[in-house]
């Protein structure tokens, strides 16, 4: 059984980055968002800046920004590729990210350029361990 983190379990079907982005993969497309842990650290989101469709992103580089009442944080791409879809609704309603980080709060979809980059991401158990260490 997976230990719950703040009454949530990080979905097993997703991959996670050390910078708290999650990735869901469907064939050659990665859906990217930020984790529930990240939303709790940021608290109330007030602004989201995302790339345009067609933008090239590189693993580890910034693809956008989230701003909360506490801080401004860069969003880092967990994979390299081309942005094929952007969740435009978030620019008007950034609170959706906090309300449903693994569903309606997704941010961008990337056509994956190098699938081997997925191997460097964490599974849910590894990510939960990272979160436990960061809380200490």
C-alpha torsion 96→13→109→36, nearest 10: 30
Task: List pLDDT tens digits, range 68-125.
Answer: 998 899 999 999 999 999 999 999 999 999 999 999 999 999 999 999 999 999 999 9
Q: What are the chain's domains?
A: 15-115 (2.40.50.100)
- Cα separation, 70 vs 54, in Å, equals 31
User: What pLDDT is recorded for position 119?
Assistant: 97
Task: List pLDDT tens digits, range 70-83.
Answer: 889 999 999 999 99
Radius of gyration of the chain, Cα coordinates, nearest whole angstrom: 14
- Cα separation, 68 vs 45, in Å, equals 4
- Cα separation, 81 vs 57, in Å, equals 5
Give me 105's structure tokens: 């709060």
Strands ordered across the beta sheet of 72-76:
45-49, 62-68, 72-76
- Cα separation, 35 vs 44, in Å, equals 14
- Cα separation, 57 vs 70, in Å, equals 26
């Amino acid at each position: 059984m997976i230990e719950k983190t703040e009454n949530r379990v990080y979905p097993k079907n997703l991959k996670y980055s050390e910078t708290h982005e999650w990735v869901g993969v469907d064939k050659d497309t990665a859906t990217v968002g930020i984790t529930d842990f990240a939303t709790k650290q940021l608290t109330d989101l007030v602004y989201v800046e995302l790339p345009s469709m067609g933008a090239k992103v590189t693993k580890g580089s910034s693809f956008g920004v989230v701003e909360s009442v506490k801080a401004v944080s860069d969003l880092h791409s967990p994979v390299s590729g081309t942005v094929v879809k952007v969740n435009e609704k978030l620019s008007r309603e950034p609170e959706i990210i906090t309300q449903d980080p693994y569903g309606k709060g997704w941010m961008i979809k990337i056509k994956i350029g190098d699938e081997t980059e997925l191997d460097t991401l964490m599974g849910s158990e590894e990510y939960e361990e990272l979160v436990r260490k960061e809380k200490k």
